[in-house]
Amino acid sequence: MKRTKATESVSVKLTGADRRFNILVNIVMVFLLIILALPLWSTIALSFRPSTFIGTYIQGMALPPWKWSFAAYHSLLGNNGFLIAFTNSLKILFQGVFFALLLTIPLAYGLSVKDLRGRKWIIIFVIIPYIFNVGLVPIYILIAKLKMINHLSAIYLPLAIGTYNMLIMKSFFEGIPNELRESAHIDGCNDLQVLVRIILPLSKAIIMTIGLYYGVAFWNDYFHPMLYLNKDMLRPLPILLRNILLAAGMNEFVEASAFGEAPIEAIKAASVFMSAIPMIVAYPFIQKYFTKGTLLGSVKG
């Protein structure tokens, strides 16, 4: 933060009111920290709670690490259903992001070319369905007719171009100087080569950002898998987690946990934490791209 340094270099002496202000800010910050951290911690602590534990919830949260039990994680990782669901989620994630970028990038680039004939009409064609949302049933009928039910592609293909993401990417491409494209044309590049050799290397940040938007959406999606995938072998992690939390899919885990003797609440919490781990691990890397992307989107969607 630049300003902090600048003001401190100017300020001679903090007045009493300034000091009270700083104290208030810090109190608010600590309050926010507690509000933000407590729910996360309560879930994590619950997942490590041993079955022998007796006491209140708060005491459980204050349990020191050497008393933690890993039984819930043992029974989850030893469970076939969990591993299958995890694999399915990864498949949806990678296939989804791949197809999404494969379709979004060329369209965004094509529409960013200002002198493209019919550009205005194509943009209107693309925006109409974005503005007018017809709801769930007509899309469900389409997926059923295409016989995509019980195919992983039903989860990501219909969502492969998010119009909003495409428009963000388009406005990024519009910011690249047109001279680059023209000089490449003079050097004998066609537009495909321009896109691959010149535009893409300049657009790593936006491609990361949009790819991550898609990735988070696919990884977190439980609704479409619930609609379109009804075989156990196909269900991704969010569906399994949902079943565990709603106690419908609990039986297999109770049996599995007979070895690990983990309490049911701990297994629920452990599966919550395990589903969040990929996001938490990737989070530090994606944070900077995400914040950049939102700002880009808000300046010109």
Per the document, the length of the chain is: 301
Binders in 187-226 for another protein, by CB under 8 A: 190-192, 195, 216, 219-223
* Cα dihedral 284, 58, 244, 223 sign: negative
CA gap 71, 263 in Å, rounded: 9
Determine, following the binding rule CB under 8 A, whether residue 131 of this chain makes contact with another protein: yes
Binding of another protein at residue 133 (CB under 8 A)? yes
Which residues in the 225-244 window bind another protein by CB under 8 A? 227, 238, 241-242
Residues 52-91 that bind another protein (CB under 8 A): 56-58, 61
Which helix (H) or strand (E) segment is 131 a member of?
helix 119-131
Residue 23 binds another protein (CB under 8 A): no
Using the minimum distance from each CB to another protein, give the nearer residue, 71 or 289. Answer: 289
Query: Considering beta carbons, is residue 58 or 66 the nearer one to another protein?
Result: 58
Least distance (Å) from another protein to the CB of residue 141?
Answer: 5
Residue 19 CB, nearest approach to another protein (Å): 9
- Residue in 76, 155, 208, 269 binding another protein, rule: CB under 8 A: 269
Residue 186 interacting with another protein (CB under 8 A): no
Whole-angstrom distance, CA of residue 266 vs CA of residue 45: 9
| Distance of alpha carbon 71 from alpha carbon 270, whole angstroms | 10
| 40 vs 259 by CB, closer to another protein | 40
182 binds another protein (CB under 8 A): no
Is residue 247 near another protein by the rule CB under 8 A?
no
The answer to whether the CB of 218 falls within 8 A of the CB of 92 is yes
CA–CA gap between residue 121 and residue 156 (Å, rounded): 27
In the complex, the smallest distance separating the C-beta of residue 198 from another protein, rounded to whole angstroms, is 13
Return contacts of 283-286, CB within 8 angstroms, 24+ apart: 286/212
C-alpha distances in angstroms, 253 versus 84, 88, 249? 14, 19, 8
150 binds another protein (CB under 8 A): no
The span from the CA of 233 to the CA of 122, in Å, is: 40
Number of residues counted as binding another protein (CB under 8 A): 103
Work out whether 260 is an interface residue with another protein (CB under 8 A).
no
Q: Is 11 in the site for another protein (CB under 8 A)?
A: yes
CA separation for the pair 301, 176 (Å, rounded): 17
Q: Closest approach of Cβ 210 to another protein, in Å?
A: 14
Q: Of the two residues 84 and 139, which places its CB atom closer to another protein in the complex? A: 139
Per-residue x/- track, 107-126, another protein (CB under 8 A): x-xxx-x--xx----xx-xx
42, 51, 95, 153: residue in contact with another protein (rule CB under 8 A): 42
Least gap, CB of 219 to another protein (angstroms): 8
| Residue whose pair of structure tokens reads 């009804």 in the numeric block | 230
- Sign (positive or negative) of CA dihedral 130, 131, 133, 134: negative
Residue closer to another protein, measured from CB, 251 or 298: 298
Give the separation between CA 290 and CA 91, rounded to whole angstroms.
23
